[in-house]
Amino acid sequence: MKKLLVLSSILFLISCNSEQYSNADIEQEIIKITDEYNQVWETVDMDSVAHYHDENIRYYWHGFLASSSNQEFLKVFKDWMATTKVWDMEVENYDVQVINKDLAIIGFNSSSSTTILTSGEKYDYGTGAFTYIWKQINGEWKIIHIHESVLEKEN
């Protein structure tokens, strides 16, 4: 009985340590895919951006629901970004919460600027806070929810 108790305790400790290790791996994976996603935004190719989204994504932008599906996202943001030549985004202060092996939340701050295609002028969007909720669907991480808030506009 004593051996069984010791063996059970060891197995419990190993499973706790492996879950922590797994969460650390998921955190790094979420940071990596978030970096990739944000870099794709800089290409201004909304089809490539949409590849990272679940079909039922909810995108809250500056206080309102900008899109409630990936199809709607493409319609709204293709139109919105049509005059954008370059989108620059500086990201800092990642904060990742792993909910379980298939669900994670990442928040961060960003400053953004753009170059307008028609005039070549730069426009500073200022700083903002973002939250992405990533869900693993069929072995692939997809964004199911985005919330973007303006912190400060520098213009």
10-65: pLDDT as tens digits? 555 555 544 455 899 999 999 999 999 999 998 889 999 999 999 999 999 988 99
Mean of pLDDT values over 4-15: 54
Yes or no: say if 93 and 74 are a contact pair by the CB < 8 Å rule: no
pTM of the model: 0.81
- Is 139's pLDDT higher than 50? yes
Q: What is the pLDDT of residue 53?
A: 98
Number of domains in the chain: 1
Residues of the domain holding 40: 2-152
Give the integer Cα–Cα distance in Å for 133 and 115: 28
What pLDDT score was predicted for residue 18? 47
Domain at 100, CATH number: 3.10.450.50
Is residue 33 within 8 A of residue 27, CB to CB? The reply is no
